Amino acid sequence: MSGWLTLALLAILVATLYGPVSREVTVLGVWRQPVNTHQERAEGQAFYKIEDTMQCEDLHYHATSGKIYTACEDSILPRFSWFPPLGNVQGPVNSIGSFHVIDPVTKKSVRLTFENFAGPFITHGIEIIEDPVRSDAIYVFAVNHLSNAEYFQSEKIADDVPKARSQIEIFHHVQDSSTIRHVRSVYHPLIITPNDIYAESPSSFYVTNDHFYREGLMRSVEDLIPAAKWSSVIHIQLDSLQSTDPAAGLHGQVALTGLHNNNGMAHGQSSEEMLISGAISGVMYRAKPHPENHTISVLDEFRYDCSIDNPSYYTDPYRSESDDASGYVQAGLLRAIDLAKTHADPNAKDGVMVWYTRRKATTTGESPGEWETRLLFEDDGNTIRSASGAVLVPIEPNSADKQKKAWLFLVSSRSPSTSSTATTSLANDVNPPPSTRPADLNLPEPVSPSAPTGDKLKRYVALGRAYLSFYKTGLKNVYHNYRASIPLRRSLGLPAYLPSSIPPAPPRSTDHVQKSKSAAFRAAVHSLNLSRSDLQLVRRAAYDLRRMIPFTLLLIICGEMTPLVVLALGNAVTPLTCRVPSQIAKDRRQRLDRKRAALAAHHAAIHGSVSAPPSGSDDELILLAHSYTHPVWIESASADEVLRACAVLNLVKDHTRPSLLVSLVYRERLRRYAEYLDVDDGLIRRCGGVTAMEADEVHIAVEERGGVGATDGEEGWDAERDERRWLEKWLERKQH
């Protein structure tokens, strides 16, 4: 009996801890391995290292002047012996960091000369705000990690004397000048482990304490245990900006507690929105400061799949009601788990991930939509070592190019230089409207088997209503999508109300009529500057409309029993927008089985072995890209080969269909599908590349190209990353 009890308790413990532990493992990057990302840069993506910007922790884009402000170190090695935020407290240093103004256009840095300041200055987080009196000037707040003279110069040291005595420095800078004037220093005993600053005015600001413990075992516990929510945010109110005593003329209070490892801070999309990063937790909190009592209320949060640092908010200056690329930017570490062994090593490399969170386009054009997050940039540490901050700087749109682009600027407290890279498109030109995919299916919570019959009946009714609502939304989206596609269909020379699919099949050598149709379609795509979003909207809307009438009849007849009937009938009568998760999963399993059977038959016929290459392997990719979807191969392939290719690409249910049907149906179907993939490949490249695609769109694109099963056994970001790499390889092979 005791054995069963122990087993039950263990099962409960595992079930309770699995979610938090799995989340922590993901954020720390325990299973994540760096790859040679230098070879995977998006086509046309430039990269710059900005001179004289060494070990810069934080940066801010000042939209009024169009310049970037950052604080940097002036030598590499001192950081690795003295930088309290990383536990480097081997001994004091007297280095003097510097402020720099970066021109995003020229990628040049201008060093500012100090006035009324002699240092030391060990830089960390900074903040900039407008001077309320002078319109062409700003105040700059900066964390300064000074050593504690009482500790390092005393013969007898009390146990409670810390090694660091960090404080805040306030400076004043007139734009376009070459100097920055020191206003005053700020020290308060509540400021223990300062990381970053959020200023309300020149005399009122908040500062994060990223740890409660400065060093030792308990600091490590604070890092690794999500429940150790001991960090804090402190508010400082200054009575005067003129004091020469750092501890005089000010008041401090605790503004917020209860967050894990709160770190970077920034202003959000409004003057009342405060952003706070929980670094090791990978969580960005949106909060609201209360000016009347100087406390902070956390409103909501966004979760990222790596550790994060200093947040920023990108305001799209070219936004419209239907197209707003504004969003949050977060930089962090690919493998934060390695930080314990790399933080004091000048030669180590720490990989980088940068995330971008913006609102989705809505199904019918209303706003706001749901938030979506995608990976904007990744590096293995060879280009830039770690990342502690990132900002986007808008690039003026080209009248001949519909894409929205921006420069991505990255800084790191441990990298020899600040870096800048041209990002992929910030717009949704590569991603079709979310209304072309199934909506979220919100099912009621299950009830206990011992629940009363009445509760069970209520849940079944709620379940039926949830499915009914899902299907109604899906059918509504089919209608709206097709209506939205009609102008595009007319521009492409397609029948407006006859849901024919695109593109036309490519010509055979003797088919002059088909050659004319295919050439006209490609010319229209080019002349209209059609985006991938447009192409997919037209294609998916036509696909769904052909299924709308039979599915609507099915829904009317079967009502709340429709999900069961649909699972039996499959996708033949179900629009894509009306497919429930279980139906999609079942279809995917069937597609994978068909693919494996067809590839086994291919290898048996060609190599005499039924051992097909593993899903996702380079050998499989070569077969898909250079044979099954290549026009020359399609024309010369035997009937059996065409059937196998169709089965792999989900164009036929069984690769053993009669060969007679190949000349009548399947060779033409494969030819037309290969033409579609070729057009789609070109639009992916032109509209921002794989990095601009949403995760759902990458998944669809991979499976359309026969990559189903390429990431079996993987979940979350690991699966998404491998799918993105698979698609990048596909595009590279199809280009050669």
How many separate domains does the chain show? Answer: 2
User: How does residue 44 score in pLDDT terms, banded at 50, 70 and 90?
Assistant: very low
How far does CA 605 lie from the centroid of its chain?
43
Nearest 5 degrees, angle CA 587-CA 590-CA 595? 125
What pLDDT, on the 0 to 100 scale, is given for residue 277? 97
More confidently predicted of 494 and 292? 292
Contact 363, 434 (CB under 8 A): yes
324 and 295 housed in the same domain: yes
In a domain? residue 17: no
Q: What percent of the chain has pLDDT over 70?
A: 90
609 and 461 housed in the same domain: yes
Please tell me which of 36-50, 255-269, 541-555 the model is most confident about, judged by mean pLDDT. Answer: 255-269
User: How does residue 286 score in pLDDT terms, banded at 50, 70 and 90?
Assistant: very high
What pLDDT, on the 0 to 100 scale, is given for residue 421? 63
CA gyration radius, the chain: 29
3-state helix/strand/coil string of 115-158: ECCCCCECEEEEEEEECCCCCCEEEEEEEECCECHHHHCCCCCC
With 60 as the cut, is the pLDDT of residue 665 above it?
A: yes
Q: How far apart are the first and last CA of the chain?
A: 67
Residue type present at position 683: L
163 and 269 housed in the same domain: yes
- 709-735, pLDDT tens digit by residue? 988 888 887 888 899 999 999 999 998
440 and 421 housed in the same domain: no
User: How does residue 75 score in pLDDT terms, banded at 50, 70 and 90?
Assistant: confident
579 and 727 housed in the same domain: yes
With 90 as the cut, is the pLDDT of residue 589 above it?
A: yes
In a domain? residue 604: yes
694 and 663 housed in the same domain: yes
Q: What percent of the chain has pLDDT over 90?
A: 49
- 340-386, pLDDT tens digit by residue? 888 778 888 889 999 999 987 654 455 566 788 888 888 888 888 88
What pLDDT, on the 0 to 100 scale, is given for residue 493? 82
Residue type present at position 47: F
Q: How confident is the prediction for the chain on average, in pLDDT?
A: 86
639 and 713 housed in the same domain: yes
What pLDDT, on the 0 to 100 scale, is given for residue 345? 81
Q: Taking the model in full, what pTM does it have? A: 0.68
More confidently predicted of 116 and 547? 116
In a domain? residue 614: yes
What pLDDT, on the 0 to 100 scale, is given for residue 400? 57
Buried (b) or exposed (e) across 713-735, using 16+ Cβ within 10 A? eeeebbbbbbbbbbbbbbbeebe
Q: Looking at 148-157, 563-572, 595-604, 625-634, which range is the least confident one?
A: 563-572
Nearest to 480 by CA among 530, 528, 544, 429: 544
Across the range 680-684, mean pLDDT stands at 93
Nearest 5 degrees, angle CA 178-CA 128-CA 282? 130
Across the range 657-680, mean pLDDT stands at 92
420 and 446 housed in the same domain: no
In a domain? residue 27: no
User: How does residue 15 score in pLDDT terms, banded at 50, 70 and 90?
Assistant: very low
In a domain? residue 13: no
- 448-490, pLDDT tens digit by residue? 888 888 888 888 888 888 888 888 888 889 988 888 888 888 8
With 60 as the cut, is the pLDDT of residue 250 above it?
A: yes
User: How does residue 563 score in pLDDT terms, banded at 50, 70 and 90?
Assistant: confident
177 and 312 housed in the same domain: yes
In a domain? residue 20: no
User: How does residue 40 score in pLDDT terms, banded at 50, 70 and 90?
Assistant: very low
- Domain region containing 207: 32-361+369-394+404-427
Phi, psi dihedral angles at 298 (to 5 degrees): -80, 130
Task: Give the CATH number, domain containing residue 46.
Answer: 2.120.10.30
195 and 330 housed in the same domain: yes
What pLDDT, on the 0 to 100 scale, is given for residue 93? 82
Reduce the DSSP state of residue 320 to 3 states and report it.
coil
- 594-648, pLDDT tens digit by residue? 999 999 999 898 877 767 788 889 999 999 999 999 999 999 999 999 999 999 9
User: How does residue 16 score in pLDDT terms, banded at 50, 70 and 90?
Assistant: very low
441 and 302 housed in the same domain: no
520 and 422 housed in the same domain: no
In a domain? residue 111: yes
Nearest to 259 by CA among 236, 242, 234: 234
With 80 as the cut, is the pLDDT of residue 403 above it?
A: no
With 70 as the cut, is the pLDDT of residue 138 above it?
A: yes
What pLDDT, on the 0 to 100 scale, is given for residue 419? 66
In a domain? residue 203: yes
